[in-house]
Structure 1
Amino acid sequence: MSVAGMGVLVTGGGSGIGLGVARRLVGEGAHVTVCGRTETTLSAAAGELAEIATAGGTATYAVADVADEDAVAAAVTRAAEHAGGRLDGVVTCAGGSGWVGPITQLPLEEWHNAVATNLTGTMLALKHAGALMARAGGGSFVGISSIASSNTHRWFGPYGVTKAGVDHLCQLAADELGPSNVRVNCIRPGLIRTAMVEAITGSDNPVRDDYESCIPLPRIGEVDDVAELARFLIGPESSWVTGQVINVDGGHSLRRGPDLSPWLEPAYGADGLRGIVD
């Protein structure tokens, strides 16, 4: 079984987990469209993907802010056109949060930004790609969530909350779209070595030590760990799998979220971390 010839859209595909997923798919012959906000990053990613494509795989890109409905709809259309009019799969890797700290000091703008990127962005991709795949008779949608959605990560602010919304959104869509043979699943990565978390993974520090004490399998996750599961969920081998939220975290979900206090206490104070605001 193979994904060769399939058309797949990967949001946030210019770097990190998204680029890793795109590499895995195009390396097996898929027609991949990577989507993101920065054209220079996307152009470089598409060039890299074209160089490693095999079995007739191809790559292109679409510039889009995932919180912009018109831009997401256009990216879905472009991905289908790139694959000769078909869209077989979507992997929504666009996400993140620009703020960490106590919830009693959470700026409303940062809350809105995280909701727009993580939750609204996934919803818009589901809305437009789900409709297209339903009309075509089927497809596979994979949302990228986080271990922070299931295990509380103190002082992660809106990130884990919005990722919990992604989990439920994907399960709701799986229930609704199943009769149209559209499968919807979700992946919860743990700590994955990407540029976004290089401050944690790049050197020995107390936060990394605490993370590692919470992971039964003794290593940090790699992008390929997530990409392999995304490939399975997009591919035909998972044709009777839907509505699942699957952790790729080395077993971290069996324990607890990380302790960020060594980094945050100097900024907010011990009282601030327990919610006291001056």
Structure 2
Amino acid sequence: MSESSSSSSSPTEEIVRLIKRLSAYVTFKMSSLFSTSIRNLDSRSVGAIAGLAIAVIFTWRALRTTGEPPRRQPKRRMQPAETSQSNPASSPPDVSASHEDNGVQDVVDHFFQPVKPTLGQIVRQKLSEGRKVTCRLLGVILEESSPEELQKQATVRSSVLEVLLEITKYSDLYLMERVLDDESEAKVLQALETAGVFTSGGLVKDKVLFCSTEMGRSSFVRQLEPDWHIDTNPEISTQLARFIKYQLHVSDAKPERTAPNVFCSQSIEQFFGSA
């Protein structure tokens, strides 16, 4: 019966019983030693006492270690070879940490990514803060390309409206064209009004000028002294290069730059980056 009980006892209980026995033995020895004169102690008695004390100390430390919960071992970083053999459904802690780092980096990249400028900012930058702009109608604002076509109809290009309205927000805009009769002039004004060009507040009908010759348009430009002039006639661009700060020459074919202050583009939408 005693054998079964001792076999079922835990290691901790056995150590406790061992300490109790040692304590009782040490107590007995100490009492017998102190009852004897110190002079009668020999080296063997002193060694026995020291040995017992050391045994008690080590036993007590072993008991403390057994009673404490085991410390968690640091998880070993998985090597690439082990990762390939591991269960794909379970991810090591490093993978989740890597995902968190990537998420933080994505937020930082998104926050500091370059902001795309608006069309208004591009227009202002391209015009170099120019406060006055003159522009031809035919081939730039209108679909038609000759005064003869204006006798039949006038059509505003829908793709140019956004750029045109942005220009009127930052600059004093004047539109001009050569026409053959009063009916053509009326058709142009009606087309501009229908397209909503006059509703923005930056352009009024009084700033739409008409003349009967190409030289008349050049004369308008020189009198107004704009910072920019936009035209399709290369001869006028060449003539005005000495008097106007900047010019934009618009042509379907790739035009050649005739002067350092004359820029070239297939359309004003393309020049301002909205096409």
Determine if the TM-score, normalized by the shorter chain, exceeds 0.5: no
TM-score by length of 1: 0.36
Larger radius of gyration: 2
TM-score (norm 2): 0.36
